[in-house]
């Protein structure tokens, strides 16, 4: 019979002493329960920030978003409504993709060589 492990939340924020002893830390500051019980010094390290590198798609999207901000579309829209559309786009990805598509079309119309560079960077990305 296969036994499945219970789901649990992974934490990397425990104190150094619990990590060294390979025991679960309850992460209470300034002194965790284990260190308090054993009457030992409890020390927490600052949480490390993990960053993920931008992939080529993200970089191309940022370039298009930058273009969108620097070159407003020639329509009867205010700058404020364009910015609000981008804000909404972060909640509704179909809207953000539409904005990026419009920026790409406008960029293509203005400078076809620049558009090829962005398109090439997206297509060179390994799947």
Residue in 59, 79, 58 with CA at minimum distance from that of residue 70: 79
Can you give the pLDDT at residue 101? Answer: 87
Q: Global pTM?
A: 0.46
Can you give the pLDDT at residue 34? Answer: 93
**Spatial distance between the Cα atoms of 99 and 69, rounded to a whole number of angstroms:** 11
- For 12-49, CATH gives 4.10.240.10
CB-based contacts of 19-28 (< 8 A; 24+ apart in sequence): none
Domain boundaries, the chain: 12-49, 56-123
What average pLDDT does range 1-5 have in this prediction? 70
Can you give the pLDDT at residue 99? Answer: 87
- Tokens coding 76: 């009867």
**Spatial distance between the Cα atoms of 31 and 36, rounded to a whole number of angstroms:** 6
Reply yes or no on whether the pLDDT at 127 is more than 50: no
């Amino acid at each position: 019979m296969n036994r499945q492990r219970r789901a649990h939340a992974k934490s990397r924020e425990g104190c150094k002493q619990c990590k060294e002893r390979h025991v679960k830390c309850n992460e209470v500051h300034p002194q965790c329960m284990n260190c308090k019980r054993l009457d030992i010094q409890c020390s927490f390290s600052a949480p490390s920030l993990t960053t993920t590198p931008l992939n080529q798609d993200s970089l191309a999207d940022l370039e298009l978003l930058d273009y969108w901000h620097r070159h407003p579309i020639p329509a009867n829209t205010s700058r404020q409504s364009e910015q609000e559309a981008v804000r909404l786009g972060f909640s509704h990805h179909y809207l953000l993709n539409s904005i990026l598509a419009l920026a790409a079309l406008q960029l293509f119309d203005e400078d076809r060589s620049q558009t090829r560079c962005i398109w090439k960077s997206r297509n060179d990305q390994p799947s």
